[in-house]
Chains A and B, each alone.
Chain A
Amino acid sequence: AQSVAQPEDQVNVAEGNPLTVKCTYSVSGNPYLFWYVQYPNRGLQFLLKYITGDNLVKGSYGFEAEFNKSQTSFHLKKPSALVSDSALYFCAVRDLSGGADGLTFGKGTHLIIQP
């Protein structure tokens, strides 16, 4: 079975500072990994994904994430946070070894960027 853990319910960062939102995963095979963002009263929007290749992947709005196989992590990062980045962030995994076709999501992390 596949699973995702987001250990922080909330992350607070001052505007202009770097941010990190943590994610670890568990799968039996090789993972596809994703980050989605949800703004208030909206559906989820795709940010970025890791399928294969370079461990550092870049996505929308200046976000990036680093795949670390040994630590089974896929932390979301941004060098300089904006107030508009404040939202709910979900990490998700899909197990390529034949797990559920849908994505398994973490519980989400509220990111709050303070002016």
Chain B
Amino acid sequence: GAGVSQSPSNKVTEKGKDVELRCDPISGHTALYWYRQSLGQGLEFLIYFQGNSAPDKSGLPSDRFSAERTGGSVSTLTIQRTQQEDSAVYLCASSLSSSGNTGELFFGEGSRLTVL
């Protein structure tokens, strides 16, 4: 598609279960970002991928969170042993190569995670 695609759009899970969220960036975009949007908290940076470089994981809140990007395209964000405080909208964004990039990001519509 023409835009950033995320799936699932909604996920309800039980506390302690693992979840996987998928992001398919815009074709040709080498930079991919994950953000978390919680009510009243704005957007929290989680992780950033740029081409084949090691990802910037500085925003991941705990070791229960991990992400990978296969073949420089699709990315999966995995949350293990989910907790209620993980409930949020997880937004993926992509952009053209980071170097020299003016920083405009293109966002998907997000995956809303609810942990019961």
Chain A residues in the interface with B (C-beta under 8 A): 32, 34, 36, 41-46, 49, 51, 90, 94, 100-108
Contacts and interface: CB of A to CB of B under 8 A. Distances in A.
A44 B104 CA distance: 11
B96 interface: no
Contact of A104 (B45, B56, B98): B45
A105 B41 CA distance: 10
Interface in B59-106: 59, 91, 93, 98, 102-106
Interface of B: 4, 31, 33, 35, 40-43, 45, 48, 50, 56, 58-59, 91, 93, 98, 102-110
The 9 closest A-B pairs by CB, nearest first: A107-B42, A43-B107, A105-B43, A44-B107, A43-B109, A94-B103, A102-B45, A32-B103, A102-B48
Given A101-B56, A102-B56, A34 B103 contact: yes
B108 A101 contact: no
Listed residue (B41, B42, B93) with the most chain A CB atoms within 10 angstroms of its CB: B42
A11 to B, nearest CB: 16
A32 to B, nearest CB: 5
B41 A107 contact: yes
B58 A100 contact: yes
B4 A43 contact: yes
A51 B91 CA distance: 24
Contact of A32 (B58, B91, B102, B108): B102
Contacts of B107: 36, 43-45
Contacts of B102: 32, 49, 51
